[in-house]
């Protein structure tokens, strides 16, 4: 059987890490695309030269033309510019919106059957724009944020409890930002919910609250440490987990930014919710019950995503028309 083809649009910090992980996991042959000349070619060759040492058989191609992504099964999009000092949020939105228009057109022309995972920020608005610009069905275009946010939550909890990260599950809903909704009731260790672990004396409510807060600000914590650039190892690992579930039809239940058509009372908006990812793309959107407090937090998150998408619609009123 032919190998799968994975196209990575954006060969920056996350793009390069995605290429290495796709190789290590032998997910398929990799095309690394970027507008910057030499970067995708250089990173591809460097990783290919690591393959005899690490022991994987994957072909790597670096490219500056969209024809290279022809027939890709999965496309992971990290293309864009980061926010620079002096740049307003709207400036960033306008620039990355243009990038999504270019990338969407490239995908529509050369990889219309792909499963597309958007990583570019601001995530919930950019995945919306990418779906509009590509015209691909909504169940084939998702945003990566929830896997990363819940991974951070899991790591902090495992560290607090001194247990294996493998036994910690955690759930995060809503948009990717400071008002994301970490769901404490649905998180815990090997099936024991967090509120029970507080009762058992494993931790205190104050510590749980502090971990929730740290999870919400997890991206900023890394930015402050790195000084230049943002997190890339964990974001890349998270997108690879989503791609793996699609390519291997694993039907993982993962939090992802998915297009809602009435679920959670939200219509025509991408929002972080639990979904099943299998060979059909987003095969199901899972609606869990929320209490009044969780609902209020989700509503706040929905409002900020709507505001961002509203700004995109103002900048590019004809997008997807
Ligand atoms: P970076 O290392 O700057 O890579 C971005 C790449 O995009 C650069 O190599 C650019 O040359 C390239 N690029 C710019 N414009 C285009 C274009 N029109 N077509 C193709 N390529 C282009 O950034 P990074 O890899 O660290 O991050 C990539 C994106 O992911 C950023 O928008 C981050 O904000 C975002 N990000 C999201 C999360 C989430 O959890 C959602 C986490 C971390 C980073």
For 21, 236, 257, the CA distances from 273, given in Å and listed in that order, are 25, 19, 6
Tell me the whole-structure pTM to 2 decimals.
0.98
Q: What are 35's two structure tokens?
A: 């507008």
CA torsion sign, 159 to 164 to 169 to 172? positive
pLDDT in tens, 273-312: 999 999 999 999 999 999 999 999 999 999 999 999 999 9
Q: Is 226 in the pocket of ligand 1 (CB under 6 A)?
A: no
Element (DSSP H or E) covering residue 156 = helix 146-161
**96 marked ligand binding residue:** yes
Q: What is the pLDDT confidence band of residue 179, given thresholds at 50, 70 and 90?
A: confident
**12 marked ligand binding residue:** yes
Whether the per-residue pLDDT at 92 is higher than 90: the answer is: no
Residue with tokens 């790195």: 226
- The minimum-distance atom of ligand 1 relative to the CA of 14 is 25
Q: Is 269 in the pocket of ligand 1 (CB under 6 A)?
A: no
**13 marked ligand binding residue:** yes
pLDDT of residue 60: 98
pLDDT in tens, 33-63: 999 999 999 999 999 999 999 999 999 999 9
CA atoms of 105 and 211, how far apart (whole Å): 41
Q: What are 104's two structure tokens?
A: 């969407």
Ligand 1 centroid – CA 10 distance (Å): 6
Q: What are 198's two structure tokens?
A: 């507080």
Residues assigned a catalytic role: 176
Backbone torsion region of residue 75, taken as left when φ is above 0, otherwise alpha when ψ lies between -120 and 50, otherwise beta: beta
Residues 6 or more apart whose CB falls under 8 angstroms from that of 201 comprise none
Ligand 1 centroid – CA 136 distance (Å): 21
Q: What is the pLDDT confidence band of residue 113, given thresholds at 50, 70 and 90?
A: very high
pLDDT of residue 175: 85
> Are the CB atoms for 78 and 14 separated by under 8 Å?
yes
Nearest to 142 by CA among 315, 275, 18, 17: 275
Q: What is the pLDDT confidence band of residue 84, given thresholds at 50, 70 and 90?
A: confident
Neighbours of 271 (CB within 10 A): 27
**What is the residue with the minimal CA distance to atom 1 of ligand 1?**
12
> Residue range 214-241: average pLDDT?
94
Neighbours of 108 (CB within 10 A): 14
**What is the residue with the minimal CA distance to atom 38 of ligand 1?**
119
**What is the residue with the minimal CA distance to atom 35 of ligand 1?**
120
> Are the CB atoms for 34 and 61 separated by under 8 Å?
no
Ligand 1: which of 42, 78, 308 to mutate, judged by most atoms within 8 Å of the beta carbon?
78
Backbone torsion region of residue 251, taken as left when φ is above 0, otherwise alpha when ψ lies between -120 and 50, otherwise beta: left
CA atoms of 298 and 308, how far apart (whole Å): 16
**What is the residue with the minimal CA distance to atom 22 of ligand 1?**
79
Instruction: Look at strands 74-77 and 29-33 and give their pairing.
Output: unpaired
- The minimum-distance atom of ligand 1 relative to the CA of 120 is 32
> Are the CB atoms for 149 and 255 separated by under 8 Å?
yes
Q: What are 291's two structure tokens?
A: 């209490």
Ligand 1 centroid – CA 77 distance (Å): 8
């Amino acid at each position: 059987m032919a190998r799968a083809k994975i196209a990575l649009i954006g060969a920056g910090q996350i793009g390069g890490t995605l290429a290495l992980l796709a190789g290590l996991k032998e997910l398929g042959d990799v095309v690394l695309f970027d507008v910057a000349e030499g970067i995708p070619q250089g990173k591809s060759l460097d990783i290919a030269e690591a393959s005899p040492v690490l022991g994987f058989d994957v072909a790597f191609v670096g490219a500056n033309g969209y024809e290279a992504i022809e027939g890709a099964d999965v496309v992971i999009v990290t293309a864009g510019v980061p926010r620079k000092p002096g740049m307003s949020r709207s400036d960033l939105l306008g620039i990355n919106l243009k990038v999504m228009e270019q990338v969407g057109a490239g995908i529509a022309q050369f990889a219309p059957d792909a499963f597309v995972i958007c990583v570019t920020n601001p995530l919930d608005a950019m995945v919306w724009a990418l779906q509009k610009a590509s015209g691909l069905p909504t169940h084939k275009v998702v945003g990566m944020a929830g896997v990363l946010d819940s991974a951070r939550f899991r790591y902090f909890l495992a560290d607090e409890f001194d247990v294996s990260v493998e036994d910690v599950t955690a759930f995060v809903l809503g948009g990717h930002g400071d008002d994301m909704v970490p769901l404490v009731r649905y998180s815990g260790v090997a099936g024991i919910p967090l509120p029970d672990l507080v009762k058992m004396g494993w931790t205190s409510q104050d510590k749980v609250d502090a971990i929730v807060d740290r999870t919400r600000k997890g991206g900023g914590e890394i930015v402050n440490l790195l000084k230049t650039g943002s997190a890339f190892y964990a974001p890349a690992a998270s997108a690879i987990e989503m791609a793996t579930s699609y390519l291997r039809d694993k039907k993982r239940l993962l939090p992802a930014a998915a297009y809602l058509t009435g679920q959670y009372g939200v219509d025509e908006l991408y929002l972080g919710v639990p979904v099943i990812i299998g060979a059909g793309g987003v095969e199901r959107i899972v609606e869990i019950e929320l209490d009044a407090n969780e609902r209020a937090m989700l509503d706040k998150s929905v409002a900020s995503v709507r505001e961002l998408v509203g700004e995109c619609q103002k900048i590019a009123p004809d997008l997807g028309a």
